[in-house]
Amino acid sequence: MLDKGTTTEEHRQYGRPARAGPERGAEGGSTMAQGEVLEFEEYVRTRQDALLRSARRLVPDPVDAQDLLQTALARTYGRWETIEDKRLADAYLRRVMINTRTEWWRARKLEEVPTEQLPESCVDDATEQHADRALLMDVLKVLAPKQRSVVVLRHWEQMSTDETAAALGMSAGTVKSTLHRALARLREELEARDSDARALEREERERCAA
Domain range annotation of the chain: 1-113, 125-210
Name the nearest CA neighbour of 143 among 110, 104, 175, 184: 184
Instruction: Assign domain 125-210 one CATH number from 3.30.590.10, 1.10.10.10, 2.30.30.40, 3.40.50.300.
Output: 1.10.10.10
Tell me the fold of 1-113: Rna Polymerase Sigma Factor; Chain: A (1.10.1740)
pTM, 2 dp: 0.47
> How far is residue 198's CA from residue 210's CA, in Å, rounded to a whole number?
18
3-18 average pLDDT score = 47
- Indicate if the pLDDT at residue 102 is higher than 70: yes
pLDDT (tens digit per residue) in 12-36 = 444 444 333 333 433 344 556 788 8
Strand, helix or coil for residue 6: coil
In this prediction, residue 90 carries a pLDDT of 87
CA distance 70 to 68: 6
- Residue 138: partners with Cβ closer than 8 Å, 6 or more residues away: none
Quote the pLDDT of residue 137.
67
DSSP class of 21: S
- Could you tell me the sign of the dihedral formed by the alpha carbons of 68, 10, 79, 87, in that order? negative
CA 135 to each of CA 6, 60, 63, 141, 179: distance values in angstroms, whole numbers, following the listed order: 34, 15, 23, 10, 19
Lowest mean pLDDT among 28-32, 57-61, 126-130, 177-181: 126-130
